[in-house]
Amino acid sequence: MPRRRIGQESFGFERGVERRSSLDDLSGMLDWSEVDAALAGISCAAKGESGWPPLALFKALLLAVWYDLSDVKLAEALDDRASFRRFCGFARHEATPERTAFVRFRSALVERGLDRRLFGMITAQLKAQAVTVKTGTLVDATVIASASKGDGEARWVKHRSKPSVHGYKAHVGADAGTALVEEVAVTPANVHDGKAGDAAVPADPGQVFADSAYRGEAFAAAVRAKGGTPRIVATHLWGRDEAETLARLDAWNAPIHRIRGRVEKVFGTWKRSYGLRRMRWVGLAKATLQVHLTAIAYNIRRALGIVAAA
């Protein structure tokens, strides 16, 4: 499994003269050797060529998320931008991967099921740096349009007055204090939030804040089984009269709404800044990979902000 060696020539910059990029700070957030070891078995070479280092390709996929780049634009930017080259480990005048290398690398990640492993590994590192007392978990889901109406694994869903969407649903469990994403599950869009919600609940979740879609004993039991306490928005309560009932309902729901609303900022960042308005690729496995990559990229930036503010 021959591999190309990169970063062998000088970057061509004098230390102290080169302009520092935010990517340098992001690069310093992780022990990349652990990620490199997890990717060691991958060779994404075209026939007859040496393979690119998989860690460089993985870092390039993170750049694609942060800057919302297609494979073509990513290849162009990596060839052109010094900060991108430095982040991925390429020296100034070295060749960089063409777009097909990213396609082969994603396929290898899916075949080996490495996206979930990498998400868990990287999130554990980031949580260790952004040490806080856990106050609870936010659980929610968001619908993401499919890459094509011909995607046979995606499904249609309609929510109230919104237009129907053909796509997938990302179920997320995020730390209530840091807003770091701890668990991710991806399903076809027509899967009910409450049925898939237990897959988004991390171990020892504390109080679990969720909207009324998660009502029901099945989800509550799953939360308790993981050591948590369900705090679910109620739609009705019994009372002696209407005024008393509404007051009790508001007293129960108001703090839940106030806390669980923070997860909307996670989804907003994913869709507004990271290009997750729609899936880039067809099929549930590749949709799951895209969501995991987005969650990893989001967590790295979020953890950097937490550490910098500490």
Domain boundaries, the chain: 22-112, 116-309
Question: For 200-214, what is the mean pLDDT?
Answer: 95
H helix intervals, 68-139? 71-80, 82-88, 99-112, 114-129
Local structure of residue 198 (DSSP, 8 states): G
Q: Report the amino acid identity of residue 129.
A: Q
Question: For 240-255, what is the mean pLDDT?
Answer: 84
Comparison of pLDDT for 135 and 9, the residue scoring more: 135
Closest CA to 296 of 134, 156, 117, 73: 117
How does the average pLDDT of the chain come out, rounded? Answer: 91
Question: For 128-157, what is the mean pLDDT?
Answer: 93
Each residue of 259-284: pLDDT tens digit? 998 999 999 999 999 999 999 999 99
Question: For 193-220, what is the mean pLDDT?
Answer: 94
Residue 185: per-residue pLDDT: 97
- On the question of pLDDT at 299 being above 90, the answer is yes
Question: For 12-16, what is the mean pLDDT?
Answer: 47
Question: For 10-24, what is the mean pLDDT?
Answer: 63
- On the question of pLDDT at 120 being above 90, the answer is yes
Decide: 123 and 299 in contact? Cβ < 8 Å: yes
Residue 13: per-residue pLDDT: 45
Residue 241: per-residue pLDDT: 77
Local structure of residue 177 (DSSP, 8 states): T
The Cα 152–Cα 167 span in angstroms is 10
71: confidence class by pLDDT, cuts 50, 70, 90: very high
The Cα 239–Cα 247 span in angstroms is 10
The Cα 86–Cα 10 span in angstroms is 11
Residue 248: per-residue pLDDT: 83
The Cα 57–Cα 75 span in angstroms is 11
- On the question of pLDDT at 14 being above 70, the answer is no
Each residue of 74-104: pLDDT tens digit? 999 999 999 999 999 999 889 999 999 999 9
Each residue of 160-183: pLDDT tens digit? 888 999 999 999 999 999 999 999
Question: For 204-219, what is the mean pLDDT?
Answer: 94
